[in-house]
Amino acid sequence: MVILIVDDEEGVLNVLRALLQMKGYDVLSARNGVEALERLKVMKFDLVISDIYMPVMDGIKLHKAIRSNPETATLPFLFISGYDDEYTAGAVRDARYEAFWKKATSVDQLVKWVEYLVQPEGKRSKVRPATDDIGPFVGDRP
């Protein structure tokens, strides 16, 4: 399984890369949405984990670009953010978005989301991982 992590903070990239590599995943990274799209042109990924707020191209625009390309339209996507304000929570509650992990919460929760999202959609559990601190998540819809 190959995961693409997109974040403009080098420390976050390093920590997530190390964590996911310890779990047996191959991990590549990009510092913004434009770099991520370039990587997606030349390599197949099983999951994208992306920060929301980044320079050049943010995570929301990256998600939109990925979904608009038939080759990547169904690629699992996990938003991450260090922000926990109502604006950010509202942004990721949209029905188009699969999952959200707040950077300040448990890494166990992140690992559960990764394990859930890398499963083929038809084989995923009906019970989705928890999404702490942002209230009901639209991803919990049937």
**Angular region, 135: left φ>0, alpha ψ -120 to 50, beta rest:** left
Domain locations in the chain as residue ranges: 2-140
Nearest to 115 by CA among 32, 25, 37: 25
**What is the pLDDT at residue 38?**
97
DSSP H helical segments within 43-133, as ranges? 59-68, 86-92, 107-117
119 secondary structure, DSSP code: S
What distance in Å separates the CA atoms of residue 109 and residue 80, rounded to the nearest whole number?
12
**Angular region, 130: left φ>0, alpha ψ -120 to 50, beta rest:** beta
pLDDT in tens, the chain (142 residues): 999 999 998 988 898 899 899 999 999 999 999 999 999 999 999 999 988 888 899 888 999 899 999 999 889 888 877 655 555 555 555 545 565 556 555 677 777 777 878 888 788 777 777 655 433 333 433 3
Considering the domain 2-140, what is its CATH architecture? Answer: 3-Layer(aba) Sandwich (3.40)
